Chain A
Amino acid sequence: MFLIRRVVGESMLPVLRQGVVVIGWRLKRPNVGNIVIAKWQGRELIKRVADVRPDSYYLVGDNPVASTDSRTYGWLPASAVVAVVVFTLHL
């Protein structure tokens, strides 16, 4: 039910820099402000939930000038959200 991933890219700066290890929890329903791991176009992304609808999420990077997110690809279905980040390891 947990998953472990390492961050690649800079769209979540300053909170998550490249190389940070994150732990995601699959069973939690995301709320606005949560950092989530979502699947889009075959790869897993890490973004923050900016808005919630009953069946979809609007995800935006913390570093909007270097982030491709819902501002480009729109709302993601709830099924695309894989896990909520519950722990980060700054190694």
Chain B
Amino acid sequence: MKLLNKFIKPVYAHCDVPCGIYETDTMKHAADTCLRMIEKIEALEGADKEKSDAHNNFIRMVVTKEKHAQICKDQLYLLWSDYFKPEHLEKFPDLHQTFWMATKQCGKVKQTISRAEAEKLVEMVGGVATIFAQSKQ
């Protein structure tokens, strides 16, 4: 293998994510943005405090749904790419399809306010969890 590495040139499936670099500029920018948005909402013409709060709650729920659908998607990608190995395909021939459809379903849940789509995602993630559990046996 070492010999092989010596003679065959590398090709990079690379990622430039600057791992290990920490900073506080991003959080400061985010906090400043929150404050600025509140100032802008308060300045809206005809803004009704009570209605604004109800509207705010609705939007928060949508944002939470969006955020968690993305978490679900990220976790699916992580398990798919980093945990499962080519040999698992022999035992689970539908592995790629299962993960692919589940990640797509995350998108459906983002796009809609549909109980049926969310239930479908829960069911699909349950299927992934079953495969994961079986792969460990």
Residues of A within 8 A of B (CB): 4-14, 16-19, 21-22, 37, 43-47, 61-68, 72, 90-91
Main secondary structure of the interface of B (DSSP, over half): mixed
- Contact check, A10 vs B10: say whether CB atoms are below 8 A apart: no
Q: Scan B71-90; emit 1 where CB is below 8 A from any A CB, else 0.
A: 00010011011101010000
C-alpha gap A67/B77 in the complex (Å) = 12
C-alpha gap A91/B108 in the complex (Å) = 38
With a cutoff of 8 Å between Cβ atoms, the chain B residues found around residue A8 in the complex are 10-14
**How many A-B pairs with Cβ below 8 Å?**
86
Closest to A83 in B: B11
With a cutoff of 8 Å between Cβ atoms, the chain B residues found around residue A22 in the complex are 11
- Number of B positions contacting A (CB below 8 A): 22
In the complex, which of the residues A21, A45, A65, A72 contacts B13, with contact meaning CB atoms closer than 8 Å? A45
In the complex, which of the residues B10, B16, B17, B96 contacts A6, with contact meaning CB atoms closer than 8 Å? B10
Q: Scan B51-85; emit 1 where CB is below 8 A from any A CB, else 0.
A: 00000000000000000000000100110111010
- Contact check, A45 vs B15: say whether CB atoms are below 8 A apart: no
Distance (Å) between the CB of A34 and the closest chain B CB? 14
Given contacts A7-B10, A21-B4, A90-B86, 12 further A-B contacts (CB under 8 A): A5-B9, A6-B4, A9-B14, A9-B15, A13-B13, A13-B81, A44-B10, A45-B13, A61-B15, A62-B81, A65-B81, A68-B15
B111 at interface, CB cutoff 8 A = no
B35 at interface, CB cutoff 8 A = no
- Contact check, B11 vs A5: say whether CB atoms are below 8 A apart: yes
